[in-house]
A = this chain, B = another copy of it.
Amino acid sequence: MPRLVMKFGGTSVANMDRIRNVARHVKREVDAGFEVAVVVSAMSGKTNELIAFVEDASKLHDKGEYDAVVASGEQITSGLLAIALQEMSIPARSWQGWQIPIETSDAHGAARIESIRGDKIIAGFTAGQVAVVAGFQGIHSSTGRLTTLGRGGSDTSAVAIAAAIGADRCDIYTDVDGVYTTDPRIVPQARRLDRVAFEEMLEMASLGAKVLQVRSVEVAMVHKVKTFVRSSLDDPDDPKPGTLICDEEDILEQQVVTGIAFSKDEAQITLRRVADKPGVAALIFGPLADANINVDMIIQVVSNDQKTTDLTFTVVTADFERAKAILEKHKDGIAYETLQGATDVVKISAIGIGMRSHAGIAARAFKALADKGINIRAITTSEIKFSVLIDKDYTELAVRTLHSLYGLDKA
């Protein structure tokens, strides 16, 4: 029999009525002849409630205990959905991460899945049973402790389980009906994509599109899991297909640019008049890396005097204060004159596998943005995307400008 993994997020399981609606989606696929594993998140609001408890207990809480507390949210939903399915005469049982087991690294709060055994779930299929899996959670096998996969981790649970049980498809149900060319709240002309390549989706997720956890796209890409993003708000008896994430070979009409993403979660740091000597980059970025701070969009400009350089880079907003403190502590070692920071910035990105074979794509953007009076603070490019850092106030204008420029507006 064909196998299917279905994943439902927090708003899709927010209360019992919505959980019963999820059960109807599952019933449709069971009736269609699929062996089904359903992956569920915590009821919306639950995880935040649990995190608030933990933060009340201690600002500097033990991440292992954090995981023990927050993993309970998914446990609750898995049991409730199993009961709702049984109530529709569909045999079902809940599975916690440690029961399967879903083995992860010991990076509590942001663990990586290392292996998943599919045999127990498959044995359940053979017995005619739907598997309801608590997403987001796993177990670190050598300590036997509960772990969680970080925000959006249930997406990764779903795709990894699909790979482990050899599913024919993985459907990620969300509160939108697919992947869009950009956020429709900003650009009403945004179009739903029928298909998007794994590489594009990976860049979109990394660059700010919140539809899927980045790690889930990586896993889908590596294991070639045919993944759909679709809507849990659809009528369970008449669902729409959503967006298929697939190999680029499976996309017939490739666009040069597929989507425009943006991230407001950026902060800019500039070090002025850094001594331009070998090894200076290591002096700057070494301590940041040691503190687990990821650096993005690095730009180095040699000054007029040829002896010093200005160095600009971005970090996520949450790391901004920490990064500044570290750099100030190392000021003498690095030997810079001043440190400037800004959080009123946004990173706008255009993504498309077509960029590989088309030159001058980014240059057109620079001109279009300049024509609108938008100043570019930093630029980075890679094979299938480019990003510009601009003032946050220009976010919507810049996104709309690029969306039109690359012909993404719907007719």
Binding site for B on A (CB under 8 A): 16, 19, 50, 53-54, 56-58, 61-62, 64-69, 71-73, 75-76, 78-80, 82-84, 86-87, 93-94, 96, 98-99, 144-146
A53 close to B76 (CB less than 8 A): yes
* Min distance, Cβ A83 to any Cβ of chain B, angstroms: 4
Q: Are B65 and A79 in contact (CB under 8 A)?
A: yes
A57 touches B99 (CB 8 A): no
| A and B contact pairs by CB, cutoff 8 A, 27 listed | A16-B53, A16-B56, A16-B57, A50-B76, A53-B76, A53-B80, A58-B84, A58-B86, A61-B83, A61-B86, A62-B86, A65-B82, A65-B83, A65-B86, A65-B94, A67-B79, A68-B75, A68-B78, A68-B79, A68-B94, A68-B96, A69-B75, A69-B76, A69-B79, A72-B75, A96-B146, A99-B145
**Is B68 in contact with A54, judged by CB distance below 8 angstroms?**
no
Residues of B within 8 A of A99 (CB): 144-145
Q: What 20 new A-B contacts, CB under 8 Å, besides A16-B53, A58-B83, A61-B83?
A: A19-B57, A54-B80, A54-B83, A57-B83, A58-B84, A58-B86, A58-B87, A61-B86, A62-B82, A62-B86, A62-B93, A65-B79, A65-B80, A66-B83, A68-B75, A68-B78, A68-B94, A68-B96, A72-B72, A75-B75
Chain B contacts of A69 at CB under 8 A?
Answer: 75-76, 79-80
* Majority-rule SS of A interface residues: helix
Max chain B Cβ within 10 angstroms of own Cβ: one of A62, A71, A75, A83: A83
Number of chain copies forming the complex:
2
Which of A56, A65, A75, A86 gathers the greatest number of chain B CB atoms within 10 Å?
A65
Assess A93 versus B72: contact at CB under 8 Å? Given A54-B83, A58-B84, A84-B58.
no
Cβ of B84 and Cβ of A57 under 8 Å apart? yes
Q: Which residues of B contact A146 (CB under 8 A)?
A: 96
* Neighbouring B residues of A16 by C-beta, 8 Å: 53, 56-57
In the complex, which residues of chain B have a beta carbon less than 8 angstroms from the beta carbon of A50?
A: 76
Given the complex, which residues of B lie within 8 Å of A75, measured CB to CB?
68-69, 71-72, 75
Contacts of A78 in B (CB 8 A): 68
**Set of chain B residues within 8 Å of A76, measured between Cβ atoms:** 50, 53, 69, 72
Q: How many Å lie between the Cα of A84 and that of B58 in the bound state?
A: 7
Hey, which chain B residues are within 8 Å of A83, CB to CB? 54, 57-58, 61-62, 65-66
A80 contacts B57, C-beta separation under 8 Å: yes
A68 to B56, CA, bound (A): 26
Contacts of A80 in B (CB 8 A): 53-54, 57, 65, 69
Chain B residues whose CB sits within 8 angstroms of the CB of A54 once the complex forms: 79-80, 83
